[in-house]
Structure 1
Amino acid sequence: MKNWIWGVVIVFLGVLLLLSASFYTVDQSQNALLMQFGKVLRVEKSPGLYMKWPLLQHVQYVDKRLQSYSPQPVSFLTADKKPVLLDFFAEWRVTDPGLYAARLHDQADAQAQIGDALRTALSSQVGTMSMASLIAVSQQALAAPVLSQVNQQLQNLGIHVLDLRILQVGLSPEVLQATYKRMEAEQIQQANTYRAEGKSAADEIRANAEKEKTTILADAYRQQEEIKGQGDAEAASIYGAAYGKDPQFFAFYRSLEAYRHALSNKTVLVLNPDSPFFKYFRHSLSEAGK
């Protein structure tokens, strides 16, 4: 009796397990592929509950949401042979789950295929552009031909790349360092040019200043000599007028001037007492005035 009851329980559990294995659910973010012996029987794209034959069939799920591919910056060569680093990302999704499941093992394999296709297409496109045109080009103008080539290459994998965005166009560290050195050399050369021009201008200013100084001194000396000559002429005229009025007084005055200049401190004169130089010492002041 007990064995019969256990038998019924075991059969019930087996039927229940068989029934649970006969159904599967599809989420709204997934595509479900019903597989039998490695072949795709059907693809369920709508969310819901579906039935399968247990042990014979199994379900493989494929994400149908928008997915991103964002690699590290990649180096490319422009048409003018200048290496550039492009930082970019792409948005893609699975459009044919059957092809996707048949050709690719997993999402990592899909990302690798997308990366290869993008690098190839970007290399071809960047290779036709100069550095200046690459920097100035719009996102749409650069992405459109690349997306066309990539999707043509990936269509047999059930993948479609919807968008490509270039985040940054830069230079490789080696080229960047060389650019900095070239800029530094150019700045040093320009600074040396400015210094040379400044020195030349300073020398010219000094030369002009010296020339102007010489001219001013010469003009001042000329004016000085003219004024001195006028003064000497006026003094001579005054002396002449004074001599004409009273020759003896003029001779006396001139002698006093000679005494004042000649008989200064520490002056030693060796003269004959009868010398005309001392004639006013030999006569009284009153006689000198007669």
Structure 2
Amino acid sequence: MLVLLGILLLVSASFYTVRMTQSAVVLEFGKPVRVVEQPGLYFKWPLVQDVIFLDKRLASYSTQPESYLTVEKKPVLVDFYAEWRITKPLVFYTSVRNAATAQARIGDIVRSFLRGEVGKMPLEAVITGNRKQMIDPVLASANQRLQALGIQLVDVRILQVGLPPEVLQAVYKRMEAERTQEANEYRSRGAEAAAEIRAQADKEKTQILADAYRQVEELKGQGDAEAGNIYGQAYGKNPAFFSFYRSLEAYRQSLGGKDVLVLSPDSPFFKYFRHTLEASGK
């Protein structure tokens, strides 16, 4: 029974399965002897050979924002991620052994080339410029370095570009000063435009009042002329009645108030009063 169990264990240790997402590196006494990249069931010598499986799928690398210096020696925070895959399993195993070591090497290489590209650019271009123009040289240079490790860098992307807190505060203060200056300029222009509008309005007001006064005087003159014409026509039809009517108007305006008039009884002003008194015998 023990012999049968030993045989089963030996047989099970003699075969291994390679999946579609894997590559297999066969080791003999710890040294790589061949690579299996096609999926299937394979044989190996038990106790002599061992198998290391490597993932062929895309892997990603990401990091926390790190500080880089621009061409003006100003610090800027850059956060990036990278996608990579194993293209040469045997080279990969002999150079970096595992994915954790590969991640560390990829981070160091990409950061090195990215630091060089950022150091060639001004701060404004790093923050607002075309990031593809900054990343393409990094991707090409890093790929040349990583090929020797059996790794292909598929993509590198900038996730975020920012400023350190102390630099950010200085930028905010500068932006605030610029906006304040711009606001003051707008206020000055507005005050100047308002003054021009008020002056124009005052000029138009004076002109309108002058035209209105002229029209009023013209209308008064026309009215006086028409009134004189009417008075003249009325006087021509019945001079005695017209004289009597005008005297009554004068009596109403002069004697109706509290003013004191000192006139001679023989004054022409009282001629109709005298006529009335003589007719009554008084």
Q: Normalising to structure 1: TM-score of the pair?
A: 0.68
The corresponding residue for 2:162 is 171
Contact 1:100 1:159 in 2 (8 A): yes
Contact 2:25 2:32 in 1 (8 A): no
**What's the secondary structure of 1:66's corresponding residue?**
coil
Other-structure match for 2:203 = 211
Partner amino acid, structure 2, of 1:85: V
Distance 2:176 2:266 in 1: 93
Match of 1:34 among 27, 30, 40: 27
Q: CA 1:89–1:256 in structure 2 vs 1: closer, same or farther (change >3 Å)? A: same
Which residue identity lines up with residue 33 of structure 2 in the other structure? Answer: R
Q: Give the aligned partner of residue 85 of structure 2.
A: 92
- Secondary structure (helix, strand or coil) at the match of 1:83 reads strand
* CA distance in 2 between partners of 1:239 and 1:261 (Å): 18
Conservation of the 8 A alpha-carbon contact between 1:86 and 1:170: yes
Supply the RMSD in Å over aligned alpha carbons: 4.3
Please report how far the alpha carbon of residue 93 of structure 1 lies from its aligned counterpart in structure 2 after TM superposition. 0.9
Deviations 1:224-251 (A, max 9, x none): 2344345445655666787788876665
In the alignment, the residues of structure 2 paired with residue 220 and residue 147 of structure 1 have an alpha-carbon distance, to the nearest angstrom, of 82
In 2, Cα distance between equivalents of 1:120 and 1:187: 38
Q: Which amino acid aligns with 1:83?
A: V
Distance change >3 Å, CA 32–CA 225, structure 1 → 2: closer
Name the amino acid aligned to 2:88: T
Give the structure 2 partner of residue 119 of structure 1. 111
2:16 match: 25
CA distance in 2, matches of 1:25, 1:226: 120
Check 1:103–1:255 CA distance in 2 against 1; reply closer, same or farther (3 A cut). Answer: same
| 1:286–1:191 Cα change, 3 Å | farther
Q: CA contact under 8 A between 1:151 and 1:159: conserved in structure 2?
A: no
State the percentage of identical aligned residues. Answer: 42
Distance 1:224 1:18 in 2: 126
Asked if 1 retains the 8 angstrom alpha-carbon contact of 2:58 and 2:84, the reply is yes
C-alpha contact 1:67 1:91 (8 A) present in aligned 2: yes
Aligned to 2:271: 279
Aligned-pair CA distance for 1:16: 3.8
Is contact 2:69–2:118 with CA below 8 Å preserved after alignment?
A: yes
Q: Deviations over 1:169-205 (max 9, x none)?
A: 5334746776677666666655555554444434333
Contact 1:74-1:85 within 8 A present in 2 as well: yes
Q: Does 1:107 align with 2:99?
A: yes
Counterpart residue identity of residue 262, structure 1: S
Gap runs ≥5 in structure 1: 1-8
Mean alpha-carbon deviation: is it higher for 239-248 or for 189-198? 239-248
Match of 2:44 in 1: 50
SS in 2 for 1:51: coil
**Aligned-partner residue type, residue 66 of structure 1:** R
Paired with 2:244 and 2:13, the residues of 1 have a C-alpha distance of 158
Q: Does residue 201 of the first structure (1) align with residue 185 of the second (2)?
A: no
Aligned pairs, number: 269
Q: Secondary structure at the match of 1:146?
A: helix
Cα distance, 1:216 vs. partner? 1.9
1:263 and 2:255 equivalent?
yes
| d(CA) in 2 for partners of 1:247, 1:21 | 152
1:41, 1:219 → 2: CA distance?
110
Quickly say closer, same or farther: Cα 1:206–1:14, change in 2 above 3 A.
closer
